[in-house]
Structure 1
Amino acid sequence: MNVLKLEDVTVRYGATTGVNRLSLEVHEGELVTLIGANGAGKSTTLRAINGLEPLAHGCIRMDGHVVSGASPAQIIDRGISHCPEGRRVFPQLTVRENLEMGAYRRIDRQRVRDDMERMFDKFPRLRERVQQVAGTLSGGEQQMLAIARALMSRPRLVMFDEPSLGLAPNIVEQIFSLIQEIRREGTTVLMVEQNAYAALAMCDRGYLLENGHIVSQGTSAEMRANPEIRRAYLGG
């Protein structure tokens, strides 16, 4: 069953087209990845889904309901959460306050407290730093906080934008393991990732974007076997 479906989505920045007639779908329980060079339109696609970029053309549906044109807050209410590129934690707020911001649309306060405890169980480092302001955390700790904050809205679909960017290799391994665990626990995942090799190794299906277009798509195995993708993105 489709959780998310984009149909002929176009996003423009003045005279520049960021995404052009893009169509893709994400099925329930999948981990789907978008790969491509810088400027291919990957992050723009996520921002369009999240309501941060208006569409010039096309339609976005979540669970069959049209969400294009909805506000970012309404998108969250529909069950879509976004872990943005560069982590974007609130640097002057504590770890706890950042997690509370992730649940700002929720009114079930006891369940929010329960979910915060669940995040601390999943990310023990955050429990150790619960009263520390987020701007003083390491890059890896900030990424863990950004992921936990995204999960605090109890999303059905969580989008990750370049989760490994700027992190040490051992931390990248931890982050990818966490994303796979989130998927195993039942949350659908759409991920943009610069490390095409790792992204295609862990996904169910992938899409390759070039200049705002999808130029290739397929299962993880199909994408890794594609000679053009191997040559351009996988090092041979």
Structure 2
Amino acid sequence: MLKLDDISVRYGATLGVDRISIEVREGELVTLIGANGAGKSTTLRAISGLEPLSTGSIRFDGHDIGGAMPAQIIERGIAHCPEGRRVFPQLSVRENLEMGAYRRIDRQRVRSDMERMFDRFPRLRERSGQAAGTLSGGEQQMLAIARALMARPRLAMFDEPSLGLAPNIVQMIFELILEVRREGTTVLLVEQNAYAALGMCDRAYLLENGRIVTSGSAADMLANETIRKSYLGG
């Protein structure tokens, strides 16, 4: 479904991502793990069209999207739930969900999907008229996920969804991501909690200093002694 071939992203003289290649097959849950600054979020931003490529290509369903605008990439079927949630704080919960569907013209289905989001996230229904900036961190993360799903993506990308959340909320967020995958949406996940990420995914890529240093099935990565010592607490 998604193929990154030898892509690089440069910030001035600094390489954020250095010639990496990644594949995501339809129906998979694939995760990118690594330390802060390894290039994980930059990779997702490049896929979304938020960072220009210095080298390489990105193809989705066989179509080159490496130079596409973010709105075009959303229309192709890729949605991005960004690090830090990035809700629109002055807009209500309902208005944030509407923004997630702003490129869709099937307004009746949009209204139906919003009701589905409220069924999936009852707390958002309770706060539908409330400004998003007044929600708790966990509620904002629910809203960010729901907003991404309002685009009806075929590929959903989640960037550090557990960051800064209480353990009970983290568990709920992970269960929601697994549910999204079970319902047929392909998932590309960036997650600081490497142990949890490897417990959820089919395959994983380990990034260090903008490069992929190893990849494999979740089972292989969990059994890798270097990964266990460096990222899984031994």
Ranges in structure 1 where 5+ consecutive residues have no aligned partner = none
Structure 1 residue 67, shift from structure 2 partner: 0.3
Residue 133 of structure 1 corresponds to 131
Counterpart residue identity of residue 34, structure 2: G
Q: 1:152-208 CA distances to partner (integer Å, 9 max, x unpaired)? A: 000000000000000000000000000000000000000000000000000000000
Q: 1:42-71 CA distances to partner (integer Å, 9 max, x unpaired)? A: 000000000000000000000010000000
1:204 matched to 2:202:
yes
CA distance in structure 2 between the partners assigned to 1:99 and 1:229 by the alignment: 38
CA distance in structure 2 between the partners assigned to 1:199 and 1:119 by the alignment: 24
1:17 matched to 2:11:
no
Match of 2:49 among 46, 51, 73: 51
Residue 87 of structure 2 corresponds to 89
CA distance in structure 2 between the partners assigned to 1:95 and 1:133 by the alignment: 6
Map of 1:58-73 to 2, 5 A cutoff? 58-73=56-71
CA distance in structure 2 between the partners assigned to 1:99 and 1:40 by the alignment: 31
Sequence identity (%): 80
RMSD of Structure 2 on Structure 1 (CA): 0.4
CA distance in structure 2 between the partners assigned to 1:93 and 1:215 by the alignment: 42
SS in 2 for 1:17: strand
CA distance in structure 2 between the partners assigned to 1:220 and 1:8 by the alignment: 23
Map of 1:106-185 to 2, 5 A cutoff? 106-185=104-183
Residue 218 of structure 1 corresponds to 216
- How many residues in Structure 1 have an aligned counterpart in Structure 2? 234
SS in 2 for 1:158: strand
Counterpart residue identity of residue 150, structure 1: A
Structure 1 residue 99, shift from structure 2 partner: 0.1
Counterpart residue identity of residue 168, structure 2: N
State the 4+ residue runs in structure 1 displaced beyond 6 angstroms: none
Residue 189 of structure 1 corresponds to 187
Residue 100 of structure 1 corresponds to 98
CA distance in structure 1 between the partners assigned to 2:62 and 2:23 by the alignment: 11
Ranges in structure 2 where 5+ consecutive residues have no aligned partner = none
SS in 2 for 1:73: helix
Q: TM-score, normalised by structure 1?
A: 0.99
CA distance in structure 2 between the partners assigned to 1:36 and 1:85 by the alignment: 15
CA distance in structure 2 between the partners assigned to 1:142 and 1:230 by the alignment: 32
Q: TM-score, normalised by structure 2?
A: 1.00
CA distance in structure 1 between the partners assigned to 2:12 and 2:83 by the alignment: 23
Counterpart residue identity of residue 176, structure 2: L
